[in-house]
């Protein structure tokens, strides 16, 4: 599987887990070699992006960033 397909499937996985009520997030800036040693040693598999899933501590979560209203973002012509 190429990296673009794997990333797209990972995005769908994140959408599904959020729809099921789980907190989730992908991680960037990771050490690909260390992830490979820990989880896929002896195989040809490589990490595309690690992700975490579960129920986070609400005290450690930040509020959703502000969003534009429909009227601010759209103009019907």
Give the C-alpha separation, 35 to 56, whole Å: 23
**Assigned domain for 70 exists:** no
pTM for the full predicted model: 0.62
Rounded to whole angstroms, what are the CA distances from 23 to 17, 42, 74?
A: 8, 31, 30
Domain count, the chain: 1
1 pLDDT band, cuts 50/70/90, is low
* Per-residue pLDDT reduced to its tens digit, 12-64: 999 999 999 999 888 888 898 898 899 888 898 888 888 899 998 888 877 77
Rounded to whole angstroms, what are the CA distances from 48 to 3, 17, 42, 55?
A: 7, 18, 17, 23
**Assigned domain for 67 exists:** no
**Assigned domain for 34 exists:** yes
**Assigned domain for 64 exists:** no
Domain limits for position 38: 3-58
**Assigned domain for 74 exists:** no
């Amino acid at each position: 599987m190429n990296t673009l397909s794997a990333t797209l499937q990972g995005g769908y996985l994140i959408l599904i887990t959020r729809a099921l009520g789980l907190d989730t997030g992908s991680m960037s800036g990771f050490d690909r070699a260390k992830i490979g040693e820990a989880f896929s040693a002896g195989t040809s598999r490589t990490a595309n992006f690690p992700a975490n899933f579960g129920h986070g501590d609400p005290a450690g979560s930040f509020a959703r960033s502000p969003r534009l209203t429909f009227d601010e973002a759209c103009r019907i012509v």
